[in-house]
Amino acid sequence: MMNISSNSVDPFSAKGSGEPTEIKARNTAVLVVDMENDFCVEGGAMVLPGYEKLIGPQLRVIDAARAAGAPIVFITDAHRPGVHRDREFLKRARHCIEGTWGARVVDALKARSDDHYVIKRRYSGFFGTDLDMTLKDLEIDGVVVMGVVTNICVRSTVHDAFFLGYRVFVPEDCVAAPSEREQTSSLFDIATCFGWVTDSNEVARAYATGSLINNRFEFA
């Protein structure tokens, strides 16, 4: 669990605001990023080991959000077959081809037909998609972002959400990176510059009771 005191960081990063904030249940959506077979399930094209540890905490958040009447948005990577210059494939192995098993949301998350679905072709869930318009139509001004991987698609989505004016919450036990280094670095940057890093229990409690969310990073 990340809980870094201001005494352990540089003076620049420590100059932030540690004020807690609230999750307004009906105005805070849950964004589930790239929890797909190709990234999570044995036999997938680019599996992140240990994804199963995320399922319980993610379901805790999803169930609490559903009970509070908040929307769940599954953001799925899906690349068109036959595209010759897909930018992600210049850097990463081919994955999540549209219409294949690999591009489906993992069964364990129990996605429903009345959830919302957004297809993305790049790392960020906002880039070149209608996610921002969908959230605005739903009268959303805050997002809980969870999924894989922390330092790529989760982080890119968090950045764009912040740039577009959303309050951003990231439960640390609901996201995973390829190593502890990438996990800690990304969560540190999110906590200091882009949003609130918390955990699934605090998010679930906030959806249920309106309790405040405190950042894992303690500012000076």
What is the tens place of the pLDDT at every residue in 112-122?
A: 999 999 999 99
Percent of the chain with pLDDT over 70: 85
Q: Name which of 39-53, 106-120, 129-143, 196-210 the model is least confident about.
A: 39-53
**Residue 184 pLDDT more than 80?**
yes
pTM for this prediction:
0.90
Query: How confident is the prediction for the chain on average, in pLDDT?
Result: 89
Sequence-distant (6+) residues with CB within 8 A of 205 are: 64, 211
What is the number of structural domains in the chain? 1
16 within some domain: yes
* pLDDT band, residue 87 (cuts 50/70/90): low
218 within some domain: no
Does the active-site annotation cover 120?
Answer: yes
Distance, in Å, from the CA atom of 74 to the CA atom of 141, rounded to the nearest integer, reads: 17
Does the active-site annotation cover 34?
Answer: yes
219 within some domain: no
Q: Are 106 and 40 in contact (CB under 8 A)?
A: yes
Q: Which domain holds residue 143?
A: 6-213
Q: Name which of 58-62, 97-101, 141-145, 148-152 the model is least confident about.
A: 97-101
Quick: pLDDT tens for 25-34: 999 999 999 9
220 within some domain: no
**Looking at 34, 38, 160, 189, which residue is catalytic?**
34
What is the SS3 assignment for 145?
Answer: strand
**Looking at 77, 96, 120, 160, which residue is catalytic?**
120
Mean pLDDT, residues 95-100 taken together:
82
**Looking at 40, 96, 153, 174, which residue is catalytic?**
153
Does the active-site annotation cover 15?
Answer: no
26 within some domain: yes
1 within some domain: no
100 within some domain: yes
- The CATH number covering residue 109 comes to 3.40.50.850
